[in-house]
Amino acid sequence: MLRALLNDEAGFIVSAELVLIATLLVIGLIVGLSEVQHAVVAELNDVGDAIGNLNQSYYYTGFSGAKRRGRGVKASTRGSAWRDTRDDCDNNQCDIACDAPVQEGPKRGQ
């Protein structure tokens, strides 16, 4: 009975085919998810560029009110203005700096 079990090859081809198909599917899934990641990062970069191009400057004028018969100022406020300048990383102006690789030290206990 043991000899018959060892010589039996009835399911060998089917399992080898399934392993091959599963391997191809996993490789295709990894490549597909990598492309999805790159597409999402590119779209988020476009959104960041659009926000970076917004002009956030503002300006408002002051006003004043005179007392009756022109005798002095009743109330006044000064105007204000703020001018938007380009930030460091607006519109892909930043370079990502990576440190040089460092060799690992010896492991503990060795």
Domain ranges of the chain: 2-82
Tokens matching residue 64: 């004043």
pLDDT band at 7 (very low <50, low <70, confident <90, very high): confident
pTM over cut 0.85: no
CA dist 23 → 11, 19, 26, 28 (Å): 18, 6, 5, 9
Residue 40 has a pLDDT of 92
- The answer to whether 77 and 60 are in contact (CB under 8 A) is no
Closest CA to 86 of 64, 60, 54, 58: 54
The per-residue pLDDT for range 67-104, each reduced to its tens digit, is 887 778 888 888 888 887 776 666 666 666 667 777 87
The pLDDT, as a whole number, for residue 26 is 96
pLDDT, mean over the chain: 80
